[in-house]
A and B are shown apart, each in its own frame.
Chain A
Amino acid sequence: MLYRTSFGVPAWRLRSPSGDLERMRNQLDSLLDAVSGEPGAAMGAGVFPAVNITETQDNYFVRAELPGIKHDDLQLDIKERTLTIAGERKIETESGEAKYHRKEREAGNFSRAIALPGEVDSGNVDARLAEGVLTVRIAKSEKVKPRQIAVH
């Protein structure tokens, strides 16, 4: 059963057998990590990009926000149950006389390997990059799809 936590980064968690107390302790731990100044410690795996994983009966969907990244600078790989998203964000250098008042956007390399929750059919995958949002659809392997059993 999925529920939404209220500690640390709002996220969805599966209800674990060890109960509420364990969850609260984990969340307080990650909250304290955030306060201690480690960047990204409170944020999932702490690797760029942040991803959201959802599923339907037949597919997994992985989404990430990748503003300013072109198709050519992005590599997606799928091997067994691991999806790897890697690439480079480039920021164009402006003319020499430009004076910056604010610079909050960063450029650089990234690479992230994501383990998918179940077996997948790596031949049936498509990915779309639109308006800076990457959506990857990965078909679940036939043998792990739930089968309805008719009751007579």
Chain B
Amino acid sequence: MAKNKAKELQVSEKKELASPAEQTKAGLVFAPNVDIFETENEITLLADIPGVKPDDLNIDLKDNVLTLSGGIKNDETEAEKAIYAEYQTGSYYRQFSISELIDQSKIEAKVTDGVLRLALPKVEKAAPRKITVQAG
């Protein structure tokens, strides 16, 4: 059987946020592309955040709202003059509401090659407790 040829990646414009939360610095803000999936035990979020160093990434989970925000340092030096620009750099921001209860102490975040992998383990459901009835 013929091997499937991997498809070609399409370029897409970065999604600029119309009105992000208050910013302390001027600049563009983009919503990163994410994949969210869940298994029985945890919810996992993968976000494309190229250019964000782990130190500049903020992840916050409060009141069932997950907020991702990451700052970018543009590494173009003063001496560089732009010839051709197809994309702009800016920080990333996105919020999600999580319906499941998450065990905050077990959240794991890892950034590799500009991709954030965030594992949100669900709170273990309380094992049903059998109550014995005493005669008396």
Question: Does A109 lie within 8 Å of B12, measured CB to CB?
Answer: no
Query: Using a Cβ cutoff of 8 Å, how many contacts connect chains A and B?
Result: 155
Knowing that A52-B87, A98-B39 are A-B contacts, what are 18 other residue pairs whose CB atoms are under 8 Å apart, sorted by A's residue number?
A: A2-B81, A12-B83, A43-B12, A52-B82, A52-B86, A54-B81, A54-B82, A56-B77, A65-B87, A67-B49, A67-B113, A70-B113, A103-B35, A105-B34, A105-B35, A106-B9, A108-B9, A110-B8
Query: Is residue A89 contacting chain B, with contact meaning CB distance below 8 A?
Result: yes
Residue of A nearest to B83 (CB): A53
A104 touches B (CB below 8 Å): yes
Contacts of A108 in B (CB 8 A): 6-10
User: Can you list 5 pairs linking A and B with CB atoms under 8 Å apart?
Assistant: A55-B83, A57-B79, A131-B51, A131-B53, A131-B114
Query: Does the CB pair A11–B86 fall under 8 Å?
Result: yes
Q: List the interface of chain B (C-beta within 8 A of A).
A: 6-13, 33-40, 44, 46, 48-53, 75-77, 79-88, 111, 113-115
List B contacts of A70 (CB < 8 A): 113
Task: Indicate which residue in B10, B46, B48 contacts A40 across the interface (CB closer than 8 Å).
Answer: B10
Find out whether the CB atom of B9 lies under 8 angstroms from the CB atom of A68. Answer: no
Residues on A lying within 8 angstroms of B by beta carbon are: 2, 9-12, 39-40, 42-57, 60-61, 63, 65-70, 88-89, 91, 94-95, 97-110, 117, 129, 131-133, 135
Chain A residues, CB < 8 A from B51: 65, 131-133
In the complex the two chains form, is A99's CB within 8 Å of B38's CB? Answer: yes
Q: Collect the chain A residues with CB atoms within 8 Å of residue B34's CB.
A: 102, 104-105
For residue B48, which residues in chain A have a CB less than 8 angstroms away from its CB? 67-68, 105, 132
Q: A46-B11, A68-B114, A110-B8 are in contact. Are A10 and B88 (CB under 8 A)?
A: yes
A111 to B35, CA, bound (A): 24
If A49-B11, A65-B114 touch, whether A100 touches B83 (CB-CB below 8 Å) is no
Q: Which residues of B contact A132 (CB under 8 A)?
A: 48-51, 113-115
